Amino acid sequence: MSGLWFTEKQTEHFGITMKIKQTLHTEQTDFQYLEMVDTEQWGNMLLLDGMVMTTVKDEFVYHEMVAHVPLFTHPNPEKVLVVGGGDGGVIREILKHPSVKKAVLVDIDEKVIEYSKKFLPQIASKLDDPRVEVQVGDGFMHIAESNDEYDVIMVDSTEPVGPAVQLFTKGFYAGIAKALKEDGLFVAQTDNPWFKADLIRSVHKDVKEIFPITRLYTANIPTYPSGLWTFTIGSKKHDPLKAEKDKMKEIDTKYYTADIHFASFVLPRFLEKLTSGE
Ligand code: SAM
């Protein structure tokens, strides 16, 4: 294979590889190694510590599914928090909901925000919207200092390595419960079942011990490890499977639909087993 190729080793024995047109920026930030590259197949792509974070060609799947499933589950989401999400994609989707008056984004690394604005303008397009408040800081600390504050919280963090390790702990989920209003709910990206089954199982168990409604849903994200991605939702009162179907039709999306909302919770048996404590 001639030319320059980027390979993400998703396990010791398996990975994906893609042809690079050019490297746009690389920098060791205070928290992670940041790379912005232009790829033949997927356009501009953000890597952190050698892991694919987002690409301009397939980003809509993840960002729509993190945002619209919880926002159509809550009857009237007004104040929303994103932990991580410095590329701005989830914020862009949140602002499609007119009920949202304020969206707070807390990302620990300002360089992700800076270079996403520069090289991923379609994704970071709404970070300067008047309804958005961008904070540079540790999401774990922000949650610890928040009480009865948010209708919906979305954890759009890197994998449980480095600064994100603490964002996958039971203590963090207990903090989220405290930061949510009495009928609030949260969603966290919880990786893939092929290589991270133990993570999905342990997060589900922790969340289930804190929230009365706990569910797992999936989406297909070709540039993420294995392509089968999961999201864990914890809700104090509103069940995503009882969301109002009519409201879902009003929104401009490329992946999320009312049918996808409900179908994404239908799990293959090996995934059901991860959530049933087996
Ligand atoms: N969609 C991607 C995924 O599923 O892996 C995540 C993309 S987003 C760029 C991940 C963000 O989490 C990064 O910008 C990183 O700086 C941020 N992050 C990691 N640990 C954090 C923490 N403790 N507090 C706030 N942000 C954090």
Q: Are strands 43-48 and 51-55 parallel, antiparallel or unpaired?
A: antiparallel
| Percent helix, strand and coil across the chain, each to the nearest 5 | 30, 35, 35
- Going from the Cα of 249 to the center of ligand 1, the distance in angstroms, rounded, reads 30
Range(s) for CATH 2.30.140.10 in the chain?
5-55
Element (DSSP H or E) covering residue 233: strand 228-235
Residue of the CA atom closest to atom 20 of ligand 1: 164
Range(s) for CATH 3.40.50.150 in the chain?
59-275
Active-site annotation holder among 87, 107, 156, 206: 156
* Best CATH choice for the domain 5-55 from the list 3.40.1190.20, 1.20.140.150, 3.40.1160.10, 2.30.140.10: 2.30.140.10
Q: What is the pLDDT of residue 1?
A: 60
CA dist., res. 155 & res. 81, Å (int): 8
Q: What are 136-160's pLDDT values in tens digits?
A: 999 999 999 999 999 999 999 999 9
Q: What angle do CA 161, 125, 190 make, to 5 degrees?
A: 30
CA dist., res. 127 & res. 104, Å (int): 10
* Best CATH choice for the domain 59-275 from the list 3.40.50.300, 3.40.50.12280, 3.40.50.150, 3.40.50.10860: 3.40.50.150
Is the CB of residue 112 below 6 angstroms from any atom belonging to ligand 1?
Answer: yes
249 confidence band (pLDDT: 50, 70, 90) = confident
Cβ contacts of 164-173, under 8 Å, gap ≥ 24: 164/84, 166/140, 167/83, 167/84, 167/139, 167/140, 168/199, 168/203, 169/206, 170/206, 170/209, 170/210, 172/140, 172/143, 173/203, 173/206, 173/207, 173/210, 173/211, 173/234
Question: Is a pLDDT exceeding 90 seen at residue 208?
Answer: yes
Question: Which residues lie below 8 Å from residue 143, measured CB to CB, with a gap of 6+?
Answer: 83, 153, 172, 175, 176, 178, 179
**Mutation pick for ligand 1 pocket among 107, 116, 138 (CB with most ligand atoms within 8 Å):** 107
Give this prediction's pTM: 0.97
Instruction: Give the pair of three-digit tokens for residue 14.
Output: 């398996």
Is the CB of residue 138 below 6 angstroms from any atom belonging to ligand 1?
Answer: yes
Is the CB of residue 114 below 6 angstroms from any atom belonging to ligand 1?
Answer: no
CA dist., res. 218 & res. 265, Å (int): 7
Residue type, 265: F
Residue of the CA atom closest to atom 14 of ligand 1: 86
Q: What is the pLDDT of residue 250?
A: 81
Question: Is a pLDDT exceeding 80 seen at residue 277?
Answer: no
Would you call 156 a catalytic residue per the annotation?
yes
Is the CB of residue 62 below 6 angstroms from any atom belonging to ligand 1?
Answer: yes
